[in-house]
């Protein structure tokens, strides 16, 4: 995706964007009757009772402002609740919710439509025939309001709840996982090896990478006749000392600037191209739920299952075809141990004394091992770490024995299940 396309996508997600579009449409619809009203006969206008549009517009103007205020209050309350009870990092997904934005835009646009219609009627620019167009437009707006209001009532019942927020973060992380163009790197972490004599490119700003315009980088690589290798992926904190990319060909100042401009730097991380951020936010939700003040292991278990589905998407290589890297650009893979630590390590730490959470962690890591055998070593190391934390934190010897038995069963060397052919039941 090019940088201007990324900027356009961010623009369309703004809350004011949909509201502004609907308001423009509402004003155009309200004033359209004055332009094309002459095409309607007077007899037809009198027959359908177009003069009643004044009362209808007054009702819309008085009610839509109250509905808009109520909707905005409900949205702000959901944002505040998510910030205090879930995690502040998930609020952006609630702000980007299209149903909430459409509802607010519809109610605000309907209020503006009614106000403009009332003002235009008071000036007499419609005439008797122009009222027909305004009457038809009013009926159309009422239908849109009813449909939107019904959807909003159903949507607001779960908007901003913990389960709804977990689902949103999981979808965002899964979308980012499908944008990963490289298979994750398993085993011990490897440092990026930069050849001697390579041209190094660093950024002048300090912030998080939220988007990389690989099309622009490919164009630069074609012009210099050499590949450009990325050294920083979306989500990385960059500064003047952090390497962005390198190439074996000499580049001039203009080409260096183009390489830098291909990296969008923001103050905060974004979900779209950063699967690690989605996993981090999921773990934050679980850590909040496992705090002594909340004590909600069920939410932590739901987060483990959601994070496991995201990692399964990565291991199954369910790549989005729209994110194919063009020729001339080399993208390094994510380190799979980092992904495991992002989602499971905080949960293993904060839920070490809860046997239910420990058992679910062991089973989730074992499930990932069965999806991709190459991930077995990293998953086993994370499972052993979780077991060690739980063993030290569990006060009951029964719980320790139970967890140790689960670990031994799901991590047998043959990975073929219990030797006697039995199947364990339960969660």
Per-residue pLDDT tens digits of the chain, which is 427 residues long: 676 676 777 777 777 787 888 888 878 877 776 666 555 554 545 455 556 677 888 888 889 888 988 888 988 998 998 888 889 999 999 988 989 988 998 998 889 888 888 888 787 776 666 677 778 788 888 999 999 999 998 898 888 899 999 999 999 999 988 887 777 888 887 777 788 888 899 998 899 999 888 888 999 998 888 899 998 889 999 999 999 998 988 888 899 999 999 999 999 999 988 899 999 999 999 999 999 888 899 999 999 999 999 999 999 886 666 666 777 888 888 889 999 999 999 999 999 989 999 999 999 999 999 998 999 999 999 999 999 999 999 888 998 999 999 999 988 754 444 444 444 444 5
Backbone phi, then psi, for 297, in 5-degree steps? -65, -25
Contact 230, 194 (CB under 8 A): no
Sign (positive or negative) of CA dihedral 417, 279, 92, 262? negative
pTM: 0.84
Task: Please answer whether residues 176 and 280 qualify as being in contact, where contact means their C-beta atoms are separated by less than 8 angstroms.
Answer: no
pLDDT given for residue 321 in this prediction: 63
List of residues 6+ apart from 381 with CB closer than 8 A: 337
Output the CA torsion 296→297→303→306 (10° steps). Answer: -130
The residue whose two tokens read 């027959």 is: 47
Question: What beta strand segments (E) does 42-141 contain?
Answer: none
Which 8-state DSSP code applies to residue 290? T
For residue 144, the Cα-to-chain-centroid distance in whole angstroms is 27
pLDDT of residue 147: 93
Distance (Å, rounded) from C-alpha 282 to C-alpha 344?
10
Q: How many CA atoms lie within 13 A of 213 on its CB side?
A: 19
Q: Which CB contacts under 8 angstroms, 24+ apart, belong to 374-377?
A: 374/186, 375/184, 375/186, 375/315, 375/336, 376/415, 377/186, 377/187
Q: Report the top-level CATH class of 199-266.
A: alpha beta
Q: How far apart are CA 275 and CA 335, in angstroms?
A: 12
Q: How far apart are CA 305 and CA 302, in angstroms?
A: 5
Q: How far apart are CA 270 and CA 259, in angstroms?
A: 21
Of 151, 112, 123, nearest to 26 (Cα)?
112
| CA torsion, ordered 184, 190, 192, 194, to nearest 10 deg | -130
pLDDT at residue 190, as a whole number: 75
Number of H helices, E strands in the chain: 16, 7
3 state DSSP class of 13: helix
Query: In this structure, are residues 275 and 340 in contact, taking their beta carbons and an 8 Å threshold?
Result: no
Count CB-CB contacts under 10 A for residue 227: 16
Of the candidates 49, 351, 313, the one whose C-alpha atom is nearest the C-alpha of residue 184 is: 313
Instruction: Say how far apart CA 323 and CA 399 lie, in whole Å.
Output: 46
């Amino acid at each position: 995706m090019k940088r201007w396309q990324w900027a356009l996508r961010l623009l369309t997600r703004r809350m004011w964007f949909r509201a502004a579009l609907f308001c423009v449409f509402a004003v155009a619809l309200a004033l359209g009757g004055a332009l094309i009203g002459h095409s309607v006969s007077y007899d037809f206008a009198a027959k359908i009772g177009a003069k009643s549009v004044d009362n209808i517009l007054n009702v819309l103007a008085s009610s839509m402002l109250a509905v808009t205020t109520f909707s905005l209050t409900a949205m702000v309350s959901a944002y505040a609740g998510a910030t205090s009870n879930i995690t502040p990092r998930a609020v952006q997904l609630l702000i980007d919710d299209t149903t909430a934005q459409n509802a607010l835009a519809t109610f605000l646009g309907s209020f503006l439509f009614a106000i403009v219609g009332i003002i235009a009627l008071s000036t007499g620019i419609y005439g008797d025939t122009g009222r027909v167009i305004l009457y038809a437009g009013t009926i159309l707006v009422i239908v849109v309001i009813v449909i939107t209001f019904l959807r909003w009532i159903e949507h607001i019942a779960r908007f901003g709840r913990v389960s709804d927020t977990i689902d949103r973060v999981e979808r965002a992380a899964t979308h980012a996982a499908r944008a990963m163009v490289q298979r994750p790197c398993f085993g011990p972490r490897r440092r990026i090896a930069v050849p001697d004599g390579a041209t190094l490119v660093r950024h002048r700003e300090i912030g998080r990478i939220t988007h990389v315009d690989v099309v622009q980088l490919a164009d630069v690589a074609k012009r210099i006749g050499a590949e450009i290798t990325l050294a920083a992926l979306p989500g990385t904190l960059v500064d003047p000392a952090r390497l962005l990319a390198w190439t074996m060909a000499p580049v001039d100042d203009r080409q260096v600037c183009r390489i830098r401009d291909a990296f969008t730097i923001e103050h905060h991380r974004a979900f779209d191209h950063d699967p690690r951020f989605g996993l981090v936010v999921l773990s934050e939700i679980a850590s909040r739920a496992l705090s002594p003040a909340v004590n909600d292991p069920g939410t932590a278990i739901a987060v483990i299952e959601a994070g496991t589905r995201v990692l399964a998407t990565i291991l199954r290589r369910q790549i989005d075809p729209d994110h194919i890297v063009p020729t001339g650009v080399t993208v390094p893979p994510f380190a799979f141990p980092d992904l495991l630590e992002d989602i499971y390590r905080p949960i293993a730490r904060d839920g070490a004394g809860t046997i239910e959470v420990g058992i679910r962690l062991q089973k989730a890591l074992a499930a990932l091992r069965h999806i991709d055998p190459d991930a077995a070593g990293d998953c086993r190391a994370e499972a052993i770490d979780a077991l060690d934390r739980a063993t030290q934190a569990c006060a009951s010897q029964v719980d320790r024995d139970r967890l140790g038995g689960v670990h031994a069963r799901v991590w047998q060397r043959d990975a073929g299940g219990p030797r006697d052919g039995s199947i364990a039941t339960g969660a």
